[in-house]
Structure formats: C-alpha cells, structure tokens
Amino acid sequence: MTSLFDTSQLGDLRLPNRVVMAPMTRARATPEGLATPAMAAYYAQRATAGLIVSEAVQPSRIGQANPGTPGLHTDEQVASWRPVTAAVHTNGGRIFAQIMHGGRVSHPDTTGLQPVAPSAIPFSGAVYTPSGSLPVPMPRALDTSEVPEHARSYALAARRALDAGFDGVELHGANGYLISQFLSSNANLRTDRYGGSVANRIRFVVEAVTATVEAVGGARTGVRLSPGATFYGVQESDTPQLYAALLAELARLPLAYVHLVATTDEELLLGLRRAWPGLLIMNPAVPMGAKQVGRGEAEHWLGLGADLISFGRSFLANPDLVERLRTGLPIAPMNEAHYYEGGDQGYLTYPAFQHTA
C-alpha cells in the first residue's frame, strides 16, 4: 500500500512525501493586500510538507472576500510574496498559491465595490469587514459580457504568482465562493450560457481553468472542489451529475491535480475518484469543522486511491506535522481564538514537539 511518506511526482515537482498543507485563511496580510515577513516565517516553518497550498489570494480588488487577506493583482503584492516563496524554497519546500474570487462573499466596506455574483441573490448571514461583522449586501449580477473577464482574472493572477516565485497555483472552486456560486443551483439562476443546465453551470470554472492552463501550463495548475457543500448558502440539486460532468471536462486538460474536500458521502467521492484520471489530493476534513485529521484518516484515503492527503487545522498548531505523523507523536490542538485575530500569537508561536529526557 502507498505510504504517506512515499515520494510522488506532481507535474514537474518531485514531492518528498504525500502530506499537503491545505489552504487556510489567516488574515495576516496588510490592508493593501501585501504579504508580510511573519507570513514568510509561517510558511517556512511548515516547509517539510510535500506541498504547501497558500491561503486564498484574491485575483482582483473586487474578488477580495475578507479583510486582511493577500492579493496578486498589483506589482507591490507580487514583490511582497517573493520573500515568502524564497523562504519556503530555502527550507526545502514547494508552494502553490490558491487563487480565490469571493464573488458575493464580500462587502463594500472591504473593497469599496459592490460584490458581483452569477445572480443578484445574497446569502443569509453576515460577512467580516474592517468594521466588524456586517449584514450581507446585495450582489450585482454579472452581465454575460463581463463573465469572461472574471474567469481570466484567475489566469492573470496565476502569471503574477509565478513571477512571485510560486511553483504553481490552485483555483479555489470550493466552499461557496465565485466558482462554487456558478456551480450552484440556487445561487446561479442565470438564463444565459452560464446558467441553467449542468453544462452551462460548469462553463465558468472550465473557462477559468483553461485560461490558467494556457497562462502557466497544466503542470502548474490545480483546482479545489467541495461537492455537495452548503457554505455561504450555496446548494447543488444534482451533485453527482454536476461533478461527473465537470471532471470529464477538466480531464481534457493536463492539470497537475484535482483537490477534493470531504463535503459529501464517501460513495460519491469514490465515484469522483474513479472519474478523475489524474492525480487526486483528498482532504478528509470538512472545512470549518471541529475535527483535526490524523494519520488514520490519511491512510484510509490513500487506501481508497487518493494520491496525496491535505491537512488543514492539524498544520496550524503543528509546524512539524510531517515528523509527528511519521513517528506517531501526538498532534497538538489549535486555539481557534487566534485563527484570524492578527499578530504572531497563534501564528508563529506553536513550537515543534519538545522531546524530554
């Protein structure tokens, strides 16, 4: 059986193990969306992962979801990321940038702009802003002529990511953000070629991924998906058909990987594993759930055919997670109070395991 600590080939990269650090928002960037020295230290501490996927990075000002998140749409942002990627590489790691357009998950207090979405339908709840948690605003439905521009924004950010020293990019197609909104059957009520049928609802993500592959190459492009997830109010009435059709289209492209989140039942996920002919990263944990994934869940999914396993929360409090998994050391719990509060506490202050005599 494949081991979590076997090497693996990912595009042009040789990974020393099959442990992936999953993308996680930490809200430590500057108000201008610049990466910081603390972020360089944070990622460098975790460079023993076979692959790091960065926190979500907005491809445009209007694509920003939350305050404190970094961007890749200005020259200054690109320059700020170079010390981060250099620190990871100096410590022997590999890092992809996750590119995320928030769509309707945004607020004018954060961006100065009205959020855009497939349809003018807000979700129920609140969003984080520089002023605190505020009611969700009404998004503006994109005109048909505007949609390709937002699909191309992922490709433009991908070019900037490589210029910043990233080894590749992952398009965030999960968890209720813009790509997920287009896939949805309740957030996307369009009647043009981007809405209605399954073939139309997958069109946006296929165009975004295709543009990114053309910009930086398939070996440097991955995509993350959360089948059946209901984050930020999205629903999918036809999840099996939707993702089977999407993977069939993506299989025409030479992608580095598809990254699935365990947001639906195992039977459906196994069907998607069989439908996807390429490399699969599996995240066994539900985003924003309570459970930290360990070696048992990882080995379970490796046995079911996943190629790499991504760990999110377990990496927060365990910068040496790979070694803890390898040697059976306990996985330290994280402190949720420090997730998004800024500063180094709960960010750079988690130690490697301390052996005692």
Catalytic residue IDs: 177
How far apart are alpha carbons 95 and 113 in whole angstroms?
31
How long, in residues, is the chain? 357
Phi and psi, residue 339, nearest 5°: -55, -55
Burial 13-44 (b: 16+ CB within 10 A, else e): bebbbbbbbbbbbbbbbeeebbbeebbbbbbb
Residue 171: closest CA among 151, 189, 186, 191 = 151
Ordered alpha helix ranges (H), 67-126: 75-90, 108-111
* 3-state DSSP assignment of residue 244: helix
Strand pairing of 140-141 and 132-135?
A: unpaired
CA distance 301 to 309: 8
Tokens at 269, concatenated: 């996920």
For residues 168 and 157, give the distance between their C-alpha atoms in angstroms, rounded to a whole number.
Answer: 11
Say if residues 350 and 318 touch (Cβ distance below 8 Å): yes
The span from the CA of 348 to the CA of 41, in Å, is 7
Question: CA distances (Å), 29 to each of 78, 81, 151, 171, 342, in order?
Answer: 13, 10, 24, 20, 9
